[in-house]
Chains A and B, each alone.
Chain A
């Protein structure tokens, strides 16, 4: 009885296997015949992102909350060394005013600098340090600034380019058609190397495409029997965090490093939408 059950189960799975196999086969045959009529060109596109360099400023609620935590901590804390010093200074001053110079001398004062002076010196040093920091955000941004990799340090940026060989000049992510013999990831690595040259070091995040976009070529420029392109996006992050700028290759007309908001306004709407599906927002 048990053997019979097993065998029947085996038979069922076997038959399922057969049917699935035939399904794949029919798919294949359809695909190949389909391909002859209308083929899609496989295109790899690299989404080169620069992660944020500095933390974004606190939002109003974050500021409020952190302020509350600080006051609560101050309420519960013991007096610090500095607060003790401030108090000691006050007593010393009082004694001096009342004329008890001897008592004042009894108070051991380790240095001639008062606590207030020390505070002032610290504030000065902090201001000096803050002045040396480069501004995180340029107030008066010209379109030219968008070409710099080191802008909007608290946001993540995405590289968009204008390729030369394409007639329709539109901002896109750097892309190139897939050539037989390479994996799609290699296609994207190739396009990053072509566009940015040696000066930009990137790390690709995985072998799988992170997004997809499909569009049809206009009938006039359909070539090699392709009716359109299926674009597969691969995400990669910029590694060199030094201040050097990227030298771009000759096959791009123009380039920009854009924040996610700017992407929405610069790219074609449907294109921007498919990209926004896989971008990790920095807000």
Chain B
């Protein structure tokens, strides 16, 4: 209502005291020199509280300590490795360990000698095998060097091409011999499966 009054008074610049039945100060003069200001629509702004710098420091320190604690907890857990089920002895077996024990086998001296001799023979065998492999590789390397030399003698350009690195061989993958030969025309079963791998965080 006061708004309307205001508008009216500003447009017509006439004072109509008492006509609208409002609180009004009138001087009954035109132009009107008195004017009501609108009520300021809000309470006065709060004065900003100035905090004690000590308290601020305390708060920051608390925050820091909290983070440090979290880090410490994480570091403590970092030492714990994910459990590997396959490497752990099942509980059932730990329970039955007494009835599962076998009678201790006593090995005769003769058998011990036999085993020691076999161990010796085995290491000699592996040594020979290793030597044969190393010589074979050496031989192949020498043969390649010789071939490259001969090639260089014939044509420098071909030699240059030959000494380039073959990027398709890096990395080199080879599937080794398997225990049983592949079954001809074997169709591997292709079906749905459920992944049972547990997720460790």
Question: Is B197's beta carbon under 8 Å from chain A?
Answer: no
A55 contacts B by Cβ under 8 Å: yes
Q: Once bound together, how far apart are the Cα atoms of A54 and B176, in whole Å?
A: 8
- Measured CB to CB, the closest approach of chain B to A210, in angstroms, equals 5
Docked complex: A104-135 residues within 8 A CB-CB of B: 132-134
Q: Is B36 an interface residue (CB 8 A)?
A: no
B143 near A54 with CB under 8 A, answer: no
Contacts of A214 in B (CB 8 A): 150
Residues of chain A within 8 A of B154, CB atoms compared:
40, 42, 230
Q: A68-B115, A78-B97, A153-B181 are in contact. Are A211 and B150 (CB under 8 A)?
A: no
Kindly state whether residue B59 has any CB partner on chain A within 8 Å: no
A36 to B185, CA, bound (A): 57
Q: Which of B99, B105, B153, B163 makes the CB contact (< 8 A) with A75?
A: B105
Residue-wise interface mask of B (129-159) relative to A, using a CB-CB cutoff of 8 A (1 in contact, 0 not): 0001000110110111011101101110010
Q: Are A207 and B164 in contact (CB under 8 A)?
A: yes
Distance of A240 from chain B, by nearest CB (Å):
12
Interchain CB contact under 8 A, B118 and A278: no
Give the shortest distance, in Å, between A7 (CB) and chain B (any CB). Answer: 33
- B102 is an interface residue with CB less than 8 A from chain A: yes
Asked if A133 meets B183 with Cβ closer than 8 Å, knowing A55-B178, A232-B147, the reply is: yes
B183 touches A208 (CB 8 A): no
Our pick among B93, B147, B164, B177 for the contact of A210 (Cβ within 8 Å) is B147
A219 at the interface (CB under 8 A from B): no
| A176–B99 CA distance with the chains assembled, in angstroms | 73
When distances are taken between beta carbons in the complex, the residues of chain B under 8 Å from A78 are 93, 97, 100-102
Q: Are B179 and A55 in contact (CB under 8 A)?
A: yes
* A37: Cβ under 8 A from any B Cβ: no
Question: CB < 8 Å: which of B139, B155, B166 contacts A278?
Answer: B139
Contacts A79-B102, A183-B158, A183-B161 known; A243 to B184 CB distance under 8 Å? yes
Residues of A within 8 A of B142 (CB): 277
Secondary structure call for the B interface: helix
Q: Are A42 and B115 in contact (CB under 8 A)?
A: no
Given the complex of chains A and B, what is the CA–CA distance between A84 and B97 in angstroms? 12
Whether A209 contacts B161 by the Cβ 8 Å rule is no
Contact of A207 among B107, B155, B161 (CB under 8 A): B161
Q: Are the CB atoms of A61 and B147 closer together than 8 Å?
A: no
In the complex formed, the residue of B with least CB distance to A204 is B166
B157-196 CB contact bits vs A (8 Å, 1 = yes)? Answer: 0100111111011000010011111111100000000000
Tell me how far the C-beta of B85 lies from the nearest C-beta in chain A, rounded to whole angstroms.
17
1/0 contact string of A196-224 vs chain B (CB within 8 Å): 00000001111111111010000000000
Q: Which residue of A lies closest to B150 (CB)?
A: A212
In angstroms, Cα B168 to Cα A205, docked, is 9
A211 near B105: Cβ-Cβ < 8 Å: no
Within 249-283 of A, Cβ neighbours of B (below 8 Å) are at 274, 277-281
Of A53, A68, A208, which contacts B177 at CB under 8 A? Answer: A53
Q: Is the CB of B143 within 8 A of A211?
A: yes
Which residues of chain B have C-beta atoms less than 8 A from A232's C-beta? 147, 150-151
Q: Is A89 an interface residue (CB 8 A)?
A: no
State whether A208 touches B147 (Cβ < 8 A). yes
Confirm or deny: A51 has a beta carbon within 8 angstroms of a beta carbon on chain B: yes
- Counting chain A CB atoms within 10 Å of each CB, the highest count among B100, B125, B165 belongs to B100
Who on chain A is nearest to B97 by CB? A78
Q: Across the interface, which residues of B come within 8 angstroms of A56, CB to CB?
A: 177
**Complex Cα gap A26–B144 (Å):** 26
Q: Is B127 an interface residue (CB 8 A)?
A: no
Q: If the complex has contacts A184-B151, A184-B161, A210-B144, are A51 and B177 also in contact, measured as CB distance less than 8 A?
A: yes
Distance between A51 CB and nearest chain B CB, rounded to angstroms: 7
Does B121 lie at the interface of the complex (its beta carbon under 8 Å from any beta carbon of A)? yes
Q: CB distance B151 to A54 under 8 Å?
A: no
Closest-by-CB residue of B relative to A84 is B100
